[in-house]
Amino acid sequence: MSNDETVAAGRTEALDERAGRRPTIYDIAQLVGLNPSTVSRALNKPGRTNAATEERIRAAAAELGYRVNPMARALPTGMTGTFAIVLPDITNPVHFDLIRGAEQVARTNGRTLIVSETEGSAEIELETIETLQSSVDGLLVVASRLTDDELAPLARSKPIVAANHASQSLPSVIPDLAMGLRQAMDHVHELGHRSVAYLGLSGLQMGRTRWDLTLDLATSRDISLVEIAVNAPSIDAGADALRRVRASGVTAVLAYNDLVAHGLLRAARNAGITIPDAFSVIGFDDIFSAELAAPSLTTLRSPLREIGTRAMQTLLDSDLNRVPSRVILPLDLVIRDSTAAPSR
């Protein structure tokens, strides 16, 4: 019998002996010839072990069908290996890539990520975070409806990282609003627009930040800016804004997000109004449907997957997840058919 066959036979015998019970770190340690403490560290604290050794251990764990028991791991360490991502609207496509980025980091590091929706309600968000804190090791809070004064005390219990919104008291990962809005205002200015409407979300600090930036940019370019409030970041809210956009007399519109822009485009089409002849429209986020809109939507592309990736990496890093910081990622203007020079 060859050496390979001998090893294979030995592994088969080991598997036979374990029949009827779950494999443990001791089984993995025996298989790879390492100390159980090394195996435990590789599986429970990724990055603390030599990369090649960690890969061997994970391969052996997969071969044996080993699965981390979160409750058992929590007993000696107080850690469950489970994290949560809390977001306002799970149906909003803007969150899809962000969740994928975060989930991939969690999975690669042997962690579990659960998703919870708050329906865009600050009250539900607060209740959700307080409920989850007892059973998770930390939370990603996306586009939070809570103020910094409300989030800071919560972060004393379990680490919280802000994703897609800025926070003074938490680690946060955000798109570069100033960079993106500057490109959008330069674009409409170069096309010849001198009157622009901003469709902003009322009652949300993130919306106020965008308005303030847009107002400063418009003023410096001799553009007249009108604020039109929408009550939700949704298609219906965008459609409802059409009458006010037409009454304002503007030649271009900057929407809070792509869903609001989609709603405006749909309402205009239903009313027999041709875009961009009547007015140009710019969205925000570049969700997958932006290119499929009629007309295709000019929009600011947000690095959503990278936001989720960087935010989750920060949350898993115990040296970073409680220290206020800010990672700012670039926004890029994607020019499509919904913008053109004004026809009047």
pLDDT tens for each residue of 153-201: 999 999 999 999 999 999 999 999 999 999 999 999 999 999 999 999 8
Q: 32 is in which domain, residue-wise?
A: 3-67
**Which residues fall within 8 angstroms of residue 333, CB to CB, at 6 or more apart?**
180, 183, 184, 187, 298, 299, 300, 301
Predicted pLDDT of residue 73:
55
pLDDT-above-90 percentage for the chain: 71
CB 326 within 8 A of CB 172: yes
Q: What does the pLDDT average to over 272-299? A: 96
Q: What does the pLDDT average to over 111-118? A: 95
Predicted pLDDT of residue 13:
43
Predicted pLDDT of residue 70:
56
168 in the same domain as 185: no
Predicted pLDDT of residue 62:
87
Can you give the CATH number for the domain in which 49 is found?
Answer: 1.10.260
Judge whether residue 15 has pLDDT over 50: no
**Phi, psi values for residue 227, rounded to 5°:** -95, 125
**67, 102, 120 - which closes a domain:** 67
292 in the same domain as 211: yes
Let me know if residue 315 belongs to a domain: yes
194 in the same domain as 297: yes
Q: What does the pLDDT average to over 112-123? A: 94
Cis before residue 295, ω within 30 degrees of 0?
A: yes
Predicted pLDDT of residue 289:
94
**Which residues fall within 8 angstroms of residue 79, CB to CB, at 6 or more apart?**
44, 73, 137
Let me know if residue 275 belongs to a domain: yes
CA distances (Å), origin 133, targets 83, 86, 274, 311: 9, 12, 50, 18
171 in the same domain as 311: yes
Can you give the CATH number for the domain in which 130 is found?
Answer: 3.40.50.2300
Let me know if residue 339 belongs to a domain: no
Judge whether residue 4 has pLDDT over 90: no
Q: What is the spatial distance between Cα 95 and Cα 117, in angstroms, rounded to a whole number?
A: 11
**44, 67, 90 - which closes a domain:** 67
Tokens, residue 303: 């690095």
Q: How many CB atoms lie within 10 A of CB 319?
A: 7
225 in the same domain as 141: no
Q: Using 50, 70 and 90 to split pLDDT, how confident is the model at 205?
A: low
Strands 298-301 and 332-334, by their bridges, are antiparallel
Let me know if residue 341 belongs to a domain: no
pTM: 0.77
190 in the same domain as 140: no
Q: How many CB atoms lie within 10 A of CB 166?
A: 18
Predicted pLDDT of residue 40:
82
When the pLDDT of each residue in the chain is averaged and rounded to a whole number, the result is 89
Judge whether residue 8 has pLDDT over 90: no
Query: Backbone dihedral region of 143: left (phi > 0), alpha (psi from -120 to 50 degrees) or beta?
Result: left
Judge whether residue 207 has pLDDT over 80: no
60 in the same domain as 26: yes
Radius of gyration in angstroms for the set of CA atoms belonging to the chain, rounded to a whole number: 25
**35, 67, 99 - which closes a domain:** 67
Number of domains in the chain: 3
Q: What is the spatial distance between Cα 308 and Cα 98, in angstroms, rounded to a whole number?
A: 4
pLDDT tens for 22-78 read 788 888 989 989 888 888 888 876 677 788 888 888 898 888 888 766 555 554 556
CA distances (Å), origin 249, targets 61, 68, 201, 246, 302: 65, 61, 20, 6, 29
Least confident range from 106-110, 114-118, 245-249: namely 106-110
Least confident range from 14-28, 92-106, 256-270: namely 14-28
Strands 139-142 and 332-334, by their bridges, are unpaired
Predicted pLDDT of residue 206:
67
289 in the same domain as 203: yes
Tokens, residue 343: 């026809």
Q: What is the spatial distance between Cα 139 and Cα 315, in angstroms, rounded to a whole number?
A: 7
CB 174 within 8 A of CB 326: yes
Specify the DSSP class assigned to residue 224: E
